[in-house]
Amino acid sequence: MRLQVCTLLLLACLGCAAASLSPAGSKLIPITSVPPPECENVGTVVGQGGGTFGGAYISNDHLMEYAMNDARNKAAERGATHIQMSTPQLGGGSGTTTTATVMAFAFKCPQGAVASKPAAEK
């Protein structure tokens, strides 16, 4: 019985942890529009946060953060330098939000091909 309780507590704690960004994922530059033609589209990635175990005990903000971090990490694994993400979608069952999903396009751009800040901020 004690082992089962410890296992359940461990699963709950693991479910509450948000995916952290990998070093490469943290270097990706988010973009809001399609980059110039010299950027190579390296594919679509889907980031996911939450799940059946523990997802109902995580705030929606953390679920979305987890999904976006997951997408950034996956894009970085493909060699991307830039990422264009959709708005995270929340889901679940029985009226409880347990998951977040975000779709993103990953791009590999030569240095300087895409401005890192909007023109108004320069």
pTM score of the predicted model? 0.75
- What pLDDT does 14 receive? 47
The phi and psi torsions of 33 (rounded to 5 degrees) equal: -135, 170
- Fold of domain 2-111: Translation Initiation Factor IF3 (3.30.110)
- What pLDDT does 119 receive? 42
Distances, alpha carbon 11 to alpha carbons 64, 94, 104, in Å: 20, 21, 28
- What pLDDT does 121 receive? 42
Q: What is the mean pLDDT of each run of 10 residues along the chain (122 residues)?
A: 50 55 95 92 94 68 92 97 94 77 96 63 40
The structural domains of the chain, with segments of one domain joined by +, span 2-111
Q: Strand, helix or coil at 91?
A: strand
